[in-house]
Amino acid sequence: MASTIALKQRIKSIKGTRQITKAMQLVSASKLRRAQEYAAASRAYADLANELLARLSGINEVEREPLFVKREVHTRLYIVVTSNSGLAGAYNANVLKQLTTGLRADAAAIVKSQVIAIGSKGAQFVRRLNEAELIAVYPSLGDHPSANDIRPILTTMIDLYKNAEVDDIRLLYTKFQSTVVQIPQSLQLLPAEAPERDEAKVAVVSNFEPDVETVIDQVTIRLVEAQIWQAVLESLASEHAMRMVAMKNATDNAKDLIDDYTLALNTARQSAITQELAEISGGAEALNG
């Protein structure tokens, strides 16, 4: 059995850790509320953008637009949304597992893989891989990202696709459903694909200003921007939720360890007292004898 001094040191250390994990749990809970509100508020905009794309997809000219052109895939670009810090449960691991699966499939199909990492954890992971080329890192979008923060990502991927440097672009992120349910997602950004639509509900658009090519190009870019923006917001909410749950579990485990070590300390103290009493009794009997 460990000495009382060692047990006291362990209890003190665990109490310090419990204070840290409790503080992180409260911070994440506070951030989660706002992140959840932002993610929920922008979903309506993303849905409307998808509906608009469905309407435009019925136009014959759309097949000739650069962002809709489908090519044989020789190079695939992954945009991976992770966190800048750890201690968030399986948040990063789930997304990176999806990335690993995609990279293995690309390697089997002899497809070159490139990665844009949003979050330093994703960049650290990709740097250790031989199967993928890390072409850009955006580590600091913060807890309150703006459209200006994601615009460089959008510009880079649009240019790469229009210049035929990549043939397929996928977005890997975590979708927030509830505090306990977050689902990793793989979304194809380019070539742009319209969602399934009801032909009876799609209105025929006949007039465009200034011209159909410009309208389709600009609307498609805005749609892709909306998808990236929504993915970032969903990922932030998921990160805070998973970190809050992870820190709560760590706090509860620390409390259990403190209880166990406190019991062991009391047992060690009782054993020491019993031994001292036995020694005193033995010494007294020896003197009387």
- pTM value surpassing 0.85: no
pLDDT of residue 57: 64
pLDDT of residue 245: 92
CB 54 within 8 A of CB 194: yes
CB 84 within 8 A of CB 120: yes
pLDDT of residue 92: 93
- Can you say whether residue 142 is alpha, beta or left, with left for phi > 0 and alpha for psi between -120 and 50 degrees? left
pLDDT of residue 204: 46
Please provide the CATH number assigned to the domain covering 25-245. 3.40.1380.10
Tens digit of pLDDT per residue, the chain (289 long)?
567 888 889 999 999 999 999 999 999 998 998 888 888 888 888 777 777 766 766 666 666 778 888 889 999 999 999 998 888 889 999 999 999 999 999 999 999 999 999 999 999 999 998 889 999 999 878 778 888 888 899 999 999 999 999 999 999 999 998 888 999 999 888 887 655 544 434 444 456 666 666 777 788 888 888 889 899 999 999 999 999 999 999 999 999 999 998 998 888 888 778 877 777 777 767 777 5
In whole angstroms, how far apart are CA 204 and each of 52, 57, 200?
12, 11, 10
Going through 27-126 in order, the beta strands assigned E by DSSP cover 75-81, 112-118
